[in-house]
Structures are given as C-alpha cells and as structure tokens.
Amino acid sequence: MAEGVIADYISPSDEIQDSDGSIDPSGLLDEVSLYNLYDDRDSPEQDAERILEITYPTETLTTIIENTTQKLNGNDGFSEGGQIVGGGYGSGKSHIELVVYHLFNSPNLGQRWLDQRGIDVDIPDETRSAALQMFNLDKDYNRLSEAVGDYLGIDQWAGDTDLPTVHQIRDTLENEPTLILIDEFERWFGMANRSEYKDDNLAFLQNLLEAAGRDDTRLSVFVSLLYEDADVQAITQRTNPFTHDLSSRRDEKIDFILHRLVGTVTDSGGVSSLAKEYTDVYRQNDQIQLEDYHDMQDRIERYYPFHPVLLQLLMEKYSEQRISSDARGLLRFLAEILRDNYTSVDFILTGDVDVFTYTDRFQYIDSELVGKYVNDYHRIQKPDGSFGEFHEELLNIVLLHSLARAGEEGANKRQMLMGTMRKGINAHRIVQTFTEEVYGHAWHIHRINGEYAFDVDENPAARIEKKSEDIHKHDAIHRVESLTREDLFDGHNNVYILDPVNTEQDIPDTKALKIAVSLGAKRNYDEDFEELTTGQEREFNNTLVLVTPEKRSSVDTNTGIIELARKVVAGEQLKREEEVLPEGFEEIHDQNYQNLRDRVRDKYGTIHTSTKRGLFPQDLPSGGNVDFYTATKEVVKPDSSQLRSEVKNAVKDADASGIQYEHLKNDFYRNPSYTTLTSEDELEEAIDSLCRDGVIQAGNYFDERVGSLGNDTNLVHQQYLEQDDDDEEEETITIDKTGSIDGGDGSETSGTATSTGGTKTGGEGASTAFECPQCGSELEGTSCECGFEFDASDIREGKVSVEGGSTDEMLDTFGIEEEVGPKIQSHPIMGTLDADNKPDLIDTLEREIGIEWDIHEAEISVSGTLTSDDLTDYGISAGALDEKVSLDETFVIDPDEPMSRQSFLSLVWDLNVPEQASLSVSLQVDKNE
C-alpha cells in the first residue's frame, strides 16, 4: 500500500484551516441568513468577497447567474425574469440567493469573480437589490407589497395603498435593473395572524412574477420554496418561471462541499496513484464486481479525500432529515470527519467514520434505531473499550446504510468491503469476521435479501447467541464430533472419533476397515496409532486408518469453531424448548450449521495408513461436498500392482507347502507392514490375477481364472510346482459314455466308460460310472473330495470332453445348468460414433440405438477449444485466454444397472460440452435379441 496520509496529498481550505495548519471546523460558515445583510453590526453575510470565495460555481448557480444577467441587461428576446429555487432545509437556497445578491450589488467584485471562473456574462453597472428573509424583516409586515416597497425604497407601495398592478410595477421601476430575492415566503404567508391578507399577498406575488416576465421590465425575481404550501406553488408556476430543484442535484452539492473543505491538491500525481491502487484492489477481488472500474477510479480522484460511496451515502441519509440537513449539515460533519482522519489514513472510507462519536447527528434521522446501535456497540466492545479487528468499522457501515430505512435496507458484502478494504487486507477475512464475530453478536442486525441491516426488533440470531453463552465447551466439541461422523463421513458405523469427549468408545477388533478421526492436531500420530493397536493388544492391527486435520491445525481447540458449535447446540436446544421462535430463526440456525460444517471441513485433512516404517500420510481430497468416507476409502484402497507383489512374496515365502487362503488373509489384517485392505474382494482379485498369470496356483487353478476360493484353499508359488508333460495331460479329462469299448480286435464291450488317468468300470447293462482323474474315486456330481471339480464352462471349453456324446448330453448327464445372462456386444462393432457437435451426436445416437437395447457400458470422448464463455464454466474468468485453451476429456460410464436408450440419451443431452468440440461414443449393449 502506498505510504502516506491525507495531509501528504492535500491542504485544507483557508476557511477550516487553523493557524498551525490543523483543521478547525468551527471556522466554517455553514449557515447563512439574508437578514444579516441589513444588520447594523458586521456579519459574514455582509462580506461579499468572503461569500464569493467560498462559493463553487455549480451548473445550477451558473445557469441562474446567466438568466439573471440577461434579464437585468434587457437583452432582446429574453423575458423570463422569474426564478424559483426549491429544496429542503439546508439544501443551499439561501446561499445561492446571497451569492446572487453580492454579484449584482457589488458589480466590480462580482464581475472579477465571474471572469476568474470562466462565466461569460456582463453584470450591469448598477442594480437596485432587495433581499427579504420573510421571518426576519425590519418591521412586522402583513403585506408583501409593502415589505418589497420598503426594501427597494418605493413609497408608492406603502401599507394602505392599493396593490400595485403589473403595469404600475413596470412604470415604478422606470427600466432600472432591479433584483428581488424572497426567502422563506411560504411559512410567513401561512401565519394565522396574516390569514386575512393571503389573497393580497398571492396577488402581489403573481404580479411581481408577471412583471418579471415582460420584455419591457428589467426585473428579476427569486422565490425560494420548501414546497409546503399548495397555494403558493400554484401561483409561482402560473407564469412558468425557471425552476431549480436543489434536492435532486447531489453531485453539485458534493462539488460545493469539496470546494469548501479542500484548499489545494499538493500532490495530484499521488492522488491519481491512490485512485488507481484502490481501483486495482476492487478489480482483483471477486466479491467486488463493479460495472465500470474506470469510472470508479475517476470518481475517487475527483472526490478525494472522501470515498465516493461514502459521500453518496451520507448525502442520501442527510436528505432524510428535517433539521440541519443536506448540504448545510453535511458540510460541517464532513469537516469533522476530515479533521479526525487527516493525519491517520490515506483515504476516508465509510468504515473510517466514527459513528458512535457523532450519534447526535443521526438522532434526527431515526432516534430509536440509533439507540439500538448504541446498545450493540457496547455489547461488541471489549471490557477495555477496544474492538476486535474490523468490528467497529463493520458495525458503523451497517448502521449508516440502514438509517432512514430500518429493517428494509442495509449493507451488502461489496459495501462492507469497499468501506474497510485497503491494499494488503484480505477480503475473505473481512467477510468472515462479520459473519462470525459481528452478525449475531449485534442483536439488532438482520439479514435481508443478501444485505445486513439494523432494525429496532431483536434478531433471532441474538436469541441463539444468548443461549450459546450457557453451552459448555465439551458439549460444543461433542456436537462437532457428531457432525464429523454423521455429515462429513456420511454416518457410516465404521467411523470413530479418536478420544471423544463425553463418550466412552470401544473400537471393535474385527477384520472390517475402521476409520479413526482425530479432532486434534498432534506432533506424533504414530503414538496415537500405537496406542490404538499394540497398546490395546488388538489382533487385527492393519484394519485401522487415521484421518487428521492438516498442518497441525486442531479442530477441538479452534475458538471460532467452538463458538459456532455452541450456536448450533443452542439453536437445537431452542427448537426443542420453545414453541414459538422469531421469524427467520430456521434460516439463521441452518446458516450456523452450514458455517460450522464448512469450517470443520476446511480443517481436514490427512489420511495416515500403516507401513513398515510407521504411518504414511496422504492428502484427503476436499472441496465442495466431497464425501470424506468415500474419499478416504479411495485413498486407502490398495494399488493393485503393490497388492499383487505382496501376495506373491507372501506365498513364495511359504515354500513348497504353500499357505492356506485363510492364513494369508489374516496376515494382511494383522500385519501393518502389509497394504491396508478396504474389502476382502481386493485380496481375492489379486490372487485371481496372479493365478491367471501363472504366478501362483490356487488349489487346482493355475493359468486360469479362480472358480472358487475357500478358507482352506492352498496357495503355492509357481516355482514349487512340478513341470512335466503329465501335468499338461491331466488338465484335459476324457470321459467315455458311449456304452461300448473297442477291444482292439474289432469286438466291443458294452456299458464301459474310460477316463484318462482312470480305469474301466461297469459291464453290460450296468450304469456308466465316472472316476476322478486325480484320485481315482468315483465321481458323484461335478466335484471330488480331493479338490477336483468342473462346470459348464470346462465342458464348453473342451477341458472335459465327451467321446461319442455331445456337450449338451454331458451337461444333461451331470445335471449342470449353464448361467444365462445378457449377450453383451460392442456397438458399433468397430470404432466409435463421431460427431462435430452435441445435437448431431444425439441425432446419430437416436438412429443407431435400438429402442429395446440396454446399455451396459459407455465411453464418451470430448475434445475441443474453449471460448471465454466455456472458460467461465470452468471457473477461469480470463478473457485473454479465449480460444487459447484446449480440452480433452473421456467419460467412462459403468452403471450398476443397465441404462435404457432414453436414459442414456438424456444423459448425453445434459452433458456440458464446449461450444467448439468434437465428440465420439462407444457402447457395450445388450440388443435383447
């Protein structure tokens, strides 16, 4: 951040600058009165030079001066001499009238001032002027005509005379430039003791304005209005005068105020750099999205040292007041704000306004709301009178945005950030501070349509906050434990909390995978694991994994998490105890739970699995709504090649006698030096893979898929197997059930069956018997006690053949029923279905896929170049990368149940693909033929 304070960039105006260079708002002439022009004593209003010096020539003032000059000079073609200046209290009406008076009453000084400011008009050399502030006239007049006549020195309009007509006004003025300024007429006109003169006063006012509208009368008449009297408004508009509404011209008021407060810009380059620096901070933050950053930079430079958002906000709020409002009241307030920050900050943000010190200025807007703010101010304040980081600033910002619109309008996140953030300050920290440390602690701040606003009613969050003060720390931690198990780990019963509070827990010593989750961050997790396993004399030590917070950032000692958990417990208790809860309670309670969940989720995580050299840490995937249970199993799930290697070595180490499957399985569950299994299927698949590759033999299975795997199945490494030709012959078994055997001499023997490696049995008329080719015992069914067995696939594949009989007869003889399943085939048979865009692909699929088809597997490939819109979908908002990023994705779809044609087409329709992309699809289908 640029070094320096406001005093390094600007100097205050002479009007507010003390002799020592400091700022003294008491020097401001913040309220002027026309009646002081006629005071016997000196007054600031009589000092024409001073009044003109502090005046900024706004567009409205410039227009008024130009119109008045043309009328008083009698310019041809210009006849509109009536001008109405409207606006609320303090909007600047009197100041404008005072400036106009001095310009034409002191023509030499006035002309010089106009020339210096580039206003190209010529003031008459002499003008007869009268400025009437109707509540403070020299005499108690009842008739407007008499008051105007006295101030202009016209005796003909005395009190007892008839009202002067338009022509008489013209003739009396004798073509002399005349300026009449009438201030606060409405309230003077409406006084009860003046009611019998209302018609006369309205008539004369109308005559004055009509005379000012004539070509032959050099008369300019000003009337200032509060727009409080309908009769006066009607009269002033009859002649269609120029009307200037000051209440709607806030930019002009801001220019006027800055002119009064800022003397000179001593470092214009520094101000420009500051404007760019702040705008860059906003541009780089995704929570501050402005429509026009260049405009913001220009306005920061123009309104320096005040942030434009602050000026607009205060101008809006001050316009709601009925007393000391708008430009007049705001002028002194901003002078005080400038004094407070002149040597402490480089730029005055909304959060820099010390609202508490100036609560009296806001009482006029909403005294009840300010009272609630004061209560919350003290509630958030620390015992020593200080505040947490950003606490006071955020509280002040919310109040300023809520004033005059209590419970309806407030501050959104952008306004909070722009009211506090400077270069080097983390925006997320500001938002987090508000949501966790201010909102809810301030009892009267409500969340309304994405904004946060003060209201006179108590926020339901405050009920939760008060209740949470009674929640014990252990109850809060216990709630975090249950949230961790039930929410983050999806409530699985094999997930346990390490060293839980308020609970005695026994992690069972079984072969199933168990996940122990730690809320604390410790230096040595190996000690935790050892205490859980060998320290408790467990048998199955390799069934435990440990999940911990990352970077040693504990959950159970984090103050913010514990406070959030207290609120969640408090909300749950209130829901059980209270029949009626404030409106919005459920939303706040749900938000507290979500905040707690997110905070706990962000603390994790690391997964520790056992190895020979102790625990091995791996990252736990996080972000979004990742199911930690599934994510943990995916991380722990053994690598297939490593598991194969461990099984192969274990079987090899068992020597020629081999090892039974049950013993091998138990070794894996017991010994932490082995890979941790998440399912027994993983071990079976490794054995099956090794058996098919000829690395080990499982029972009778070798170089083939393992048909069945029992606990007593023996596993032998291939190097211990005898390799001879007989082994190869024994793999194929021949069974003769022809009913006769060729004896070699042409004769036949009936009812005899021969099996390779077996003997002849039976005789004529006897039932055929089949012997086991391994042990010679008679086969009963498709298996033998020695371990030999066969099934339909062995017959179909020729491993068991039939002499003189068909395969179907053999299946029928042994009563073997083949498994019947869908006939899965690739589609298209060769290659893929291709398209240049998604609609064309959908059209191709609708034509290619049969209505009755079932899709068992699908693979969709997408490649293309990403446009700026596509990049936004992937979270990349960098327009410079438009069509500079390529994409190559493959989606493999393997559903648990086959998909219908329509379901698959709907899936492809919903697939989000780049605008410029090519697609290809290959399928595994059952055509139900």
Q: Distance between alpha carbon 917 and the CA centroid of its chain, in Å?
A: 31
Coil/strand/helix, residue 524: coil
Q: What average pLDDT score do residues 317-332 get?
A: 65
The confidence band for 554, taking pLDDT boundaries of 50, 70 and 90, is confident
Coil/strand/helix, residue 447: strand
Is residue 768 pLDDT above 70, yes or no?
no
Q: What is the DSSP letter of 3?
A: -
d(CA 871, CA 781): 65
Is residue 847 pLDDT above 90, yes or no?
no
Q: Is the peptide bond before 605 cis (omega within 30 degrees of 0)?
A: yes
pLDDT tens track for 625-669: 788 999 999 999 999 999 999 999 999 998 888 999 999 999 999
> According to DSSP H, which parts of 213-292 are helical?
230-238, 250-261, 268-283
> What pLDDT sits at residue 775?
67
Coil/strand/helix, residue 368: helix
> What pLDDT sits at residue 730?
39
| Mean pLDDT comparison of 18-32, 253-267, 733-747, highest-scoring range | 253-267
Q: What average pLDDT score do residues 830-838 get?
A: 83
Q: Give residue for tokens 């006029």.
A: 364
Q: Distance between alpha carbon 898 and the CA centroid of its chain, in Å?
A: 39
> What pLDDT sits at residue 823?
76
Coil/strand/helix, residue 626: coil
> What pLDDT sits at residue 796?
61
Q: What average pLDDT score do residues 282-291 get?
A: 90
d(CA 653, CA 658): 8
Q: What average pLDDT score do residues 163-192 get?
A: 92
d(CA 256, CA 547): 64
Phi, psi (5° rounding) for residue 696? Answer: -135, 165
The mean pLDDT value of the chain amounts to 85
Nearest alpha carbon to residue 634 among 703, 564, 682:
682
Is residue 97 pLDDT above 90, yes or no?
yes
Is residue 302 pLDDT above 60, yes or no?
yes
Bigger pLDDT: 506 vs 787: 506
Coil/strand/helix, residue 320: coil
Q: What is the DSSP letter of 406?
A: T
| Mean pLDDT comparison of 34-48, 517-531, 906-920, highest-scoring range | 34-48
> What pLDDT sits at residue 133?
93
- What is the DSSP secondary-structure string of 713-735? -EEEEGGGS---HHHHHHTSEEE
Q: What is the DSSP letter of 783?
A: B
With beta carbons less than 8 A apart as the criterion, state whether 534 and 668 touch.
Answer: no
d(CA 57, CA 120): 13
Pairing of strands 178-183, 219-225: parallel
d(CA 346, CA 334): 16
> What pLDDT sits at residue 441?
84
For 735-759, what is the HEC assignment?
EECCCEEECCCCCEEECCECECCCC
Phi, psi (5° rounding) for residue 629? Answer: -65, -50
d(CA 504, CA 293): 59
The confidence band for 328, taking pLDDT boundaries of 50, 70 and 90, is low
> What pLDDT sits at residue 596?
93
Q: Which residues of 712-725 are buried (b: 16+ CB within 10 A; e: fewer)?
A: ebbbbbbeeeeeee
d(CA 333, CA 735): 110
Q: What average pLDDT score do residues 571-576 get?
A: 92
Point out the least confidently predicted range of 552-556, 595-599, 703-707, 799-803: 799-803
> What pLDDT sits at residue 766?
38
Q: Give residue for tokens 């029972």.
A: 699
For 843-902, what is the HEC assignment?
HHHHHHCCCCCEEEEEEEEEEEEECHHHHHHCCCCCHHHCCCEEEEEEEEECCCCCEEHH
Q: What angle do CA 235, 240, 244 make, to 5 degrees?
A: 95
Q: Give residue for tokens 């933050």.
A: 285
d(CA 352, CA 270): 21
Is residue 164 pLDDT above 80, yes or no?
yes
> What pLDDT sits at residue 744?
42
- Count CB-CB contacts under 10 A for residue 160: 6
Q: Is the peptide bond before 305 cis (omega within 30 degrees of 0)?
A: yes
d(CA 308, CA 297): 10
Kind plus residue range of the DSSP H or E element containing 241: none
d(CA 303, CA 6): 13
Collect all residues with Cβ–Cβ distance below 8 Å to 252 and sequence separation of at least 6: 58, 59, 60, 246
d(CA 276, CA 326): 30
> What pLDDT sits at residue 498?
87
> What pLDDT sits at residue 732?
44
Coil/strand/helix, residue 21: coil
With beta carbons less than 8 A apart as the criterion, state whether 58 and 73 touch.
Answer: no
Kind plus residue range of the DSSP H or E element containing 515: strand 514-517
With beta carbons less than 8 A apart as the criterion, state whether 484 and 464 touch.
Answer: no
For the chain, helix (H) and strand (E) counts, in that order, are 33, 27
| Mean pLDDT comparison of 318-332, 386-400, 617-631, 649-663, highest-scoring range | 386-400
Q: Distance between alpha carbon 152 and the CA centroid of its chain, in Å?
A: 67
With beta carbons less than 8 A apart as the criterion, state whether 317 and 326 touch.
Answer: no
Burial class (CB in 10 A: 0-12, 13-18, 19+), 473: middle
Nearest alpha carbon to residue 393 among 347, 343, 436, 433:
433
Nearest alpha carbon to residue 348 among 287, 434, 257:
257
Collect all residues with Cβ–Cβ distance below 8 Å to 265 and sequence separation of at least 6: 9, 10, 271, 304
pLDDT tens track for 890-901: 999 998 889 888
Indicate whether this model's pTM tops 0.75.
no
Percent of the chain beyond pLDDT 70?
A: 87
With beta carbons less than 8 A apart as the criterion, state whether 824 and 924 touch.
Answer: yes
Q: What average pLDDT score do residues 380-400 get?
A: 94
Point out the least confidently predicted range of 96-110, 527-541, 583-597: 527-541
pLDDT tens track for 48-89: 999 999 999 999 999 999 999 999 998 877 888 999 998 877
Bigger pLDDT: 28 vs 647: 647
Q: At what angle do helices 166-173 and 198-212 cross, to 10 degrees?
A: 60
d(CA 841, CA 913): 12
Q: What is the DSSP letter of 162?
A: P
Is residue 94 pLDDT above 50, yes or no?
yes
Q: What average pLDDT score do residues 774-780 get?
A: 68
The confidence band for 750, taking pLDDT boundaries of 50, 70 and 90, is very low
With beta carbons less than 8 A apart as the criterion, state whether 79 and 219 touch.
Answer: no
Is residue 211 pLDDT above 90, yes or no?
yes
The percent helix, strand, coil of the chain (3-state, each to 5) is 45, 15, 40
Q: How many residues does the chain have?
A: 929
Point out the least confidently predicted range of 261-270, 431-440, 498-507: 498-507
d(CA 669, CA 510): 9
| Mean pLDDT comparison of 300-309, 669-678, 709-718, highest-scoring range | 300-309
Q: What average pLDDT score do residues 808-822 get?
A: 62
Strands ordered across the beta sheet of 514-517 = 495-497, 514-517, 544-549, 604-611, 614-619
d(CA 591, CA 546): 30
Phi, psi (5° rounding) for residue 805? Answer: -140, 160
With beta carbons less than 8 A apart as the criterion, state whether 107 and 87 touch.
Answer: no
With beta carbons less than 8 A apart as the criterion, state whether 589 and 464 touch.
Answer: yes
